[in-house]
């Protein structure tokens, strides 16, 4: 059994890895979690970062949500 990562955009699947087999195969499609947060999906599914890296980057992103650019402008 082989597994590859993909994102389903509501219409079609966008493969994030090459298909490791040739010919016809029976496949099982598993929907793991909603991809509501594009940043999280990119980090997790791009295979660039390990899980610890993803958690660290997400922590930094969460901390910076409160970063202020001025008196009235908060990111």
- pLDDT tens-digit readout, 41-66: 666 666 666 777 777 777 877 777 66
Q: What percent of the chain has pLDDT over 90?
A: 12
Sign of CA dihedral 8, 11, 14, 18: positive
- Please give the sequence-ordered ranges of beta strands (E in DSSP) within 1-73, or none if there are none: 6-8, 13-15
Residue 69 pLDDT class (50, 70, 90 cuts): low
Which pair of tokens denotes residue 57?
């980057």
Give the list of residues 6+ apart from residue 39 with CB closer than 8 angstroms, or none: 58, 61
Task: Give the global pTM.
Answer: 0.44
Determine phi and psi for 6, rounding to 5 degrees.
-155, 165
């Amino acid at each position: 059994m082989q597994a590859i990562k993909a994102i389903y955009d509501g219409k079609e699947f966008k493969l994030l890895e090459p298909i490791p087999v040739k010919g016809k195969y029976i496949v099982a499609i598993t929907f793991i979690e909603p991809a509501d947060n594009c940043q999280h999906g990119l980090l997790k599914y791009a295979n660039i970062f390990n899980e610890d890296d993803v958690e660290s980057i997400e922590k930094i992103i969460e901390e910076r949500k409160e970063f202020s650019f001025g008196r009235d402008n908060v990111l």
